[in-house]
Structure 1
Amino acid sequence: MSDLANQAAHDESHGSVKSYLTGFVLSVILTAIPFWAVMTQAFDKTTTIVLAVTLAVVQIIVHLKYFLHLDFTPHGKENTIAFLFSALIIGLVVGLSIWIIYSANALMMYM
């Protein structure tokens, strides 16, 4: 009986075809809108940049939900927290490395 429950939980953790198609369609739409805005120059530069960045963040969330299946259900909470911790560590390493390199460059003696 526990094998059936484990299999159901395993199948539940993976997405359905409908879930993947929803994620795919949303990803295409969230890519097409900024592409259209840039190619047609329908908005001024600032508005286009804000639109592209905003839709990029929304697309990241769509990918995390529909393709990586990260959520805050009891089953997915551990994976989500592990992912967020990893993203924090990577962000710190990259950000602090850039800061150190910039500071070292600023302190270099110019001849």
Structure 2
Amino acid sequence: MANPHTTSAGSSHGSYKSYMIGFVLSVILTAIPFGLVMFPSMSKEATLWIVMIFAVIQVLVHLVYFLHLDRTSEQRWNVIAFVFSALIIAFLVGLSLWIMFSIHHFMMAK
């Protein structure tokens, strides 16, 4: 089980070692922000930034170790689809927040 599994399409599913590396990294990337929130030792702003940075890193760990997205030619369309989906979600959330804050600003101006 140390060798990566391949499907009939030839894509790699990873090995036991890669899954364990991903799992350990995920646990560490969860435990550190959890500890910072449960036992505050920094300002709220610094804690918020650290939690957000660790969240982005954890998303990347999940993409690489569990979803097996990499920069190989076999994964190119999967990566493009993921980036497109993330961009659309960012636009939807960002523009929705912008609209809500604008409405709030103009409604409170009276």
Instruction: Assess same fold via TM > 0.5.
Output: yes
Residue 42 of structure 1 pairs with residue 41 of structure 2: yes
Residue 75 of structure 1 pairs with residue 74 of structure 2: yes
Residue equivalent to 1:30: 29
Q: Secondary structure at the match of 1:7?
A: coil
Distance, in Å, in 1 between the alignment partners of 2:100 and 2:48 is 27
Which one has a bigger Cα radius of gyration? 1
Deviation at 1:60, TM superposition (A): 1.1
Deviation at 1:6, TM superposition (A): 6.3
Residue equivalent to 1:57: 56
Q: Cα–Cα, structure 1 residues 25 and 96, in superposed 2: closer, same or farther, change >3 Å? A: same
Distance, in Å, in 2 between the alignment partners of 1:106 and 1:47 is 27
Q: Secondary structure at the match of 2:81?
A: helix
**Number of equivalences:** 105
Distance, in Å, in 1 between the alignment partners of 2:105 and 2:34 is 37
Q: Cα–Cα, structure 1 residues 45 and 95, in superposed 2: closer, same or farther, change >3 Å? A: closer
Distance, in Å, in 2 between the alignment partners of 1:6 and 1:27 is 26
Pairwise CA RMSD of aligned residues? 2.4
Deviation at 1:70, TM superposition (A): 1.3
Distance, in Å, in 2 between the alignment partners of 1:51 and 1:86 is 25
Residue 90 of structure 1 pairs with residue 89 of structure 2: yes
Cα deviation digits, residues 4-32 of structure 1 (max 9, x gap): x962713x1x2222222111110001111
Deviation at 1:79, TM superposition (A): 0.4
Q: Which protein is richer in helix relative to its size?
A: 1
Residue equivalent to 2:104: 105
Gaps of 5+ in 2: 1-5
Gaps of 5+ in 1: none
The aligned amino acid for 1:103 is: S
Give the structure-2-normalised TM-score.
0.78
Taking only the aligned residue pairs, the percentage that are identical comes to 53
